[in-house]
């Protein structure tokens, strides 16, 4: 009897369409997308979407053996943050928050990444910190900031994953 109940539960867990599970995605009007910005002195020019995911999830914490990576997310509820978490991590804001709670409990990190409240602070932060990385609307990028290629594409190009 118990085994039958368990098998029924397993089949139910595997058979329900994926679209019914998890949180629904927020749909944004398509535009040039979200630019991944770093300091111009950063030796890295391109990332894969999987690399970006590792950075956002705190699994990659250095650009090279000598340059630590400093991740600055955008504030909760911002378009940049929601789109980045959806496209790179397939997570909602709440799931991301819970993920970092787990990392803090495990002792992997001491705190969740700091969130920057505005476009200006994100640009200022990246231009002043060599290992910094943040995310802004691609239309707002100014000179003196390097925009990363993601999966070989820049914002606005066909195939760019963060738009």
Query: Which positions touch another protein (CB under 8 A)?
Result: 2-3, 5-6, 9-10, 12-14, 16, 20-23, 48, 50, 53, 60-62, 64-66, 68, 90-92, 94-95, 97-99, 101-102, 104-107
In 3D space, the residue among 79, 46, 50, 85 whose CA is nearest the CA of residue 63 turns out to be 46
Nearer of residues 3 and 128 to another protein, judged by Cβ: 3
Structure tokens at 58: 């705190």
Ramachandran angles phi, psi of 24, nearest 5°:
-75, 150
Q: How far is the CB of 19 from another protein (least distance, A)?
A: 11
Nearer of residues 52 and 116 to another protein, judged by Cβ: 52
| Cβ neighbours for 44, distance < 8 A, ≥ 6 positions apart | 38, 63, 148
- DSSP structure class, residue 134: E
Nearer of residues 32 and 61 to another protein, judged by Cβ: 61
Q: How far is the CB of 73 from another protein (least distance, A)?
A: 16
Q: Rounded to an integer, what distance in angstroms lies between the CA atom of residue 9 and that of residue 1?
A: 12
Nearer of residues 101 and 118 to another protein, judged by Cβ: 101
In 3D space, the residue among 55, 54, 79, 88 whose CA is nearest the CA of residue 138 turns out to be 79
Q: How far is the CB of 80 from another protein (least distance, A)?
A: 20
Q: How far is the CB of 2 from another protein (least distance, A)?
A: 5
Q: Rounded to an integer, what distance in angstroms lies between the CA atom of residue 146 and that of residue 161?
A: 18
Nearer of residues 94 and 139 to another protein, judged by Cβ: 94
């Amino acid at each position: 009897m118990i085994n039958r109940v368990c098998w029924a539960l397993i089949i139910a867990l595997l058979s329900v369409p994926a679209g019914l599970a998890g949180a629904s995605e927020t749909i944004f009007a398509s535009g040039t997308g979200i630019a991944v910005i770093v300091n111009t002195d950063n030796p890295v020019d391109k990332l894969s979407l999987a690399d970006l995911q590792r950075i956002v999830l705190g699994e990659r914490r250095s650009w090279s053996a000598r340059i630590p990576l400093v991740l600055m997310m955008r504030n909760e509820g911002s378009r940049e943050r929601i789109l980045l978490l959806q496209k790179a991590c397939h997570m909602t804001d709440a799931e991301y928050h819970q993920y970092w709670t787990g990392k803090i409990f495990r002792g992997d990190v001491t705190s969740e990444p700091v969130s920057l409240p505005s476009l200006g602070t994100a640009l200022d932060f990246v231009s002043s910190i060599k290992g910094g990385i943040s995310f802004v609307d691609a239309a707002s990028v100014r000179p003196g900031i390097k925009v990363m290629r993601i999966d070989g594409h820049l914002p606005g190009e066909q195939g760019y994953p963060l738009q």
